Amino acid sequence: MARAATTSDAFNAIAEPQRREILVLLRGGERPVTDLARNLGMTQPQASKHLRVLREVGLVRVRGAGKQRLYGLDARGLRPVHEWVGGFERFWSESFDRLDEYVQELKQARQEGPHDGDDQ
């Protein structure tokens, strides 16, 4: 097997930096393809391809406007991502080395009274 398709979920879709940039730009409102391409320094076909991926995972939606096609953000698909990552919030706010033991030691130390110096 190869890597999972970029269109398999939001996690894969936003793994690509350029697609993330597109999403950020779209936060400012709808934009036509060429506009996005120019702003991000990519070719029009590349932009279209990235937008296709984003559309397939539902992170953007399109709206025809004459010759143009206006792409707009639909961030709802990012919510699960945010929630999943958020599940780790309490772990990155901890001072980190040897977290598991550290936590245990802390609990004990508190019961036995302040007893410093164990690093290194």
Partner DNA sequence: TTGACGCATTCCGATATAGGCATATGATGG
Partner DNA sequence: CCATCATATGCCTATATCGGAATGCGTCAA
By CB under 8 A, how many residues form the interface with its own copies? 40
Q: Are strands 60-65 and 31-32 parallel, antiparallel or unpaired?
A: unpaired
Q: Distance between CA 44 and CA 41 in Å, rounded?
A: 9
- Which DSSP state fits 77? G
Closest CB to DNA among residues 28, 64? 64
All residues at 6 or more sequence positions from 76 whose CB lies less than 8 Å from its CB, including other chains? 58
20 lies in the binding site for DNA (CB under 7 A): no
Q: How far is the CB of 111 from DNA (least distance, A)?
A: 27
Q: What is the CA radius of gyration of the chain?
A: 22
Provide the binding-site residues for DNA, judged by CB under 7 A.
1-7, 16, 18, 32-35, 42-53, 62, 64, 66-69
Provide the binding-site residues for its own copies, judged by CB under 8 A.
3-4, 6, 11-12, 14-17, 20, 23-24, 27-30, 63, 72-76, 78-79, 81-82, 84-89, 91-92, 96, 98-100, 103-104
